[in-house]
């Protein structure tokens, strides 16, 4: 409904009207502006993520994808607009607060703690939870991650830095799940992985979503990959949301190729 979406660029698209007011909205990112100095990195960006939904934000290099994720995690300041999570205004919250409220992240390039073991990395993910570090609930969740990712159990005493790329991605997912999130934000989760590992990662994303009911926000350059698992998507071009729609609508739209490669959509 924002004017930035009304310039003839949107697909046949999903209506934001009913969605924005429905109870099933988990994250409502509305009319957000972010500046780095003079540079206007996000311009009136709006999108929403429903409970239990997988939503992808697509776009080429330097269009503002990571900035969008960092805004949710309160790692960058927003100049205008609002971010609401589970009915609460988190626009001015701290990172620790949003994690406690139920938002977890898998950052760009995974970033596990290389010197720590697999299990120590997983326990770090539970650090915002109250109580003892190895409480019964935390240990139960550790077991849950091991049954979701048996490879992590096999490797639990291994230094995380020596895991393969795919295993590190599983560890980053497991660590994010240890905070018991309602929403996991993932920054380019398939980047740099071999095709067979990419398939495993995509399958893990679907399992996290289906079996645990966790909503997933995937920031991704590859529309083909992200839209295999996402229910809906948004396309960001130079800091502006240029298109949005269901995964099927976006995959069928010839403009998507131009858009996610970073070329101007409005030709």
Ligand X SMILES: Nc1ncnc2c1ncn2[C@@H]1O[C@H](COP(=O)(O)OP(=O)(O)OP(=O)(O)O)[C@@H](O)[C@H]1O
Q: How far is CA 157 from the centre of its chain?
A: 28
Residue 190 touching ligand X (CB under 6 A): no
Report 19-48 residues binding ligand X (CB under 6 A).
36, 39, 41
Cβ closer to Mg ion: 48 or 70?
70
CB of 198 to ligand X, least distance (A): 17
Residue 67 touching Mg ion (CB under 5 A): no
CB atoms within 10 A of CB 37: 6
Cβ closer to ligand X: 141 or 258?
258
CB of 225 to ligand X, least distance (A): 14
Report 116-175 residues binding ligand X (CB under 6 A).
none
Residue 1 touching ligand X (CB under 6 A): no
Residue 66 touching Mg ion (CB under 5 A): yes
Q: How far apart are CA 192 and CA 72, in angstroms?
A: 24
Residue 169 touching Mg ion (CB under 5 A): no
Tokens representing residue 155 in the block: 């490797």
Residue 189 partner contact from Mg ion, ligand X, none using kind-dependent CB cut-offs of 5 to 8 Å: none
**Cβ 98 vs Cβ 74: under 8 Å:** yes
Q: How far apart are CA 41 and CA 37, in angstroms?
A: 10
Q: How far apart are CA 136 and CA 133, in angstroms?
A: 9
CB atoms within 10 A of CB 104: 24
**Cβ 186 vs Cβ 216: under 8 Å:** yes
Cβ closer to ligand X: 3 or 61?
61
Walk across the sheet containing 240-246 and list its strands: 103-106, 183-187, 215-220, 54-58, 232-237, 240-246
Site string for ligand X, 192-231 (x = CB under 6 A): -----------------------------x----------
Site string for ligand X, 52-81 (x = CB under 6 A): -------x-xxxxxxx--------------
Residue 56 touching Mg ion (CB under 5 A): no
CB atoms within 10 A of CB 12: 9
Residue ranges that bind ligand X, judged by CB under 6 A:
36, 39, 41, 59, 61-67, 221
- Give residues in contact with Mg ion (CB under 5 A): 65-66
């Amino acid at each position: 409904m924002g004017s930035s979406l009304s310039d003839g660029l949107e697909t046949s698209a999903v209506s934001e009207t009913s969605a924005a007011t429905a109870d099933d909205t988990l994250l409502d990112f509305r009319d957000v502006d972010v500046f780095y100095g003079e540079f206007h990195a996000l311009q009136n960006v709006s999108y929403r993520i429903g409970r239990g939904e997988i939503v992808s934000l697509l776009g080429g290099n330097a269009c503002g994808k990571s900035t969008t994720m960092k805004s949710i995690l309160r790692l960058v300041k927003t100049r205008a607009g609002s971010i609401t999570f589970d009915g609460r205004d988190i626009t001015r919250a701290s990172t620790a607060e949003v994690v406690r409220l139920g938002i977890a992240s898998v950052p760009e390039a995974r970033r596990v703690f290389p010197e720590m073991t697999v299990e120590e990395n997983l326990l770090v993910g539970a650090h915002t939870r109250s109580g003892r570090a190895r409480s019964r609930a935390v240990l139960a969740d550790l077991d849950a991650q091991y049954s979701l990712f048996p490879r992590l159990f096999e490797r639990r005493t291994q230094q995380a830095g020596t895991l393969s790329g795919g295993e590190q991605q599983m560890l980053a997912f497991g660590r994010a799940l240890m905070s018991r999130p309602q929403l996991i934000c993932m920054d380019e989760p398939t980047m740099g992985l071999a095709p067979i590992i990419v398939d495993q990662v995509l399958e893990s994303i679907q399992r996290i979503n289906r079996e645990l009911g966790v909503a997933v926000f995937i920031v991704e350059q590859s529309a083909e990959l992200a839209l295999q698992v996402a229910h809906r998507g948004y396309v960001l071009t130079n800091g502006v949301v240029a298109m949005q729609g269901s995964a099927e609508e976006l995959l069928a739209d010839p403009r998507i190729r131009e858009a996610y490669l970073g070329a101007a959509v409005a030709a």
